[in-house]
Amino acid sequence: MSVEIEELELHDTMQALLRAMITQTMEIQRLIETVRESQPPPAHRSIRIPSLEEAVGVYERSLIESALETSRGNRTQAARLLRVTPRIINYKIRKYAIDCSRFR
């Protein structure tokens, strides 16, 4: 019985994380559109396209922060939500200098 409850809680948590990620993605898209609209025409500016590594890093950090927010700073639970090991999540938290205490 408790396993079923834990599975339901995990399912609900994952759905909440997915909703947060979708909302965050939409907000990022709106921000990008706003910035593009406020920029002068392409002939008057140089275009800086981020590298794939930079773009993936921004997205990865966003996912980790969303998982930490959903798990209220619990790294093990965040790792489970993202389907990675706690070792990987801890490495990424150090890599991106994420302060987990913000999410408690």
Residue 85, in any domain of the structure = yes
Residue 45, in any domain of the structure = no
Range of the domain at 80: 2-40+50-103
Rounded mean pLDDT of 83-95? 96
Burial of 79 (0-12, 13-18, 19+ CB in 10 A): buried
Q: Find, among 53, 82, 51, 88, the residue nearest to 65 by Cα.
A: 82
pLDDT tens per residue across span 50-85: 888 999 999 999 999 999 999 999 999 999 999 999
pLDDT tens per residue across span 13-42: 888 887 888 888 877 877 777 777 776 666
| Count of the separate structural domains present in the chain | 1
Is the four-CA dihedral 15, 18, 20, 23 of positive or negative sign? negative
Question: What is the reported pTM?
Answer: 0.58
Residue 24, token pair as written in the block: 């965050």
Higher per-residue confidence, 48 vs 44: 48
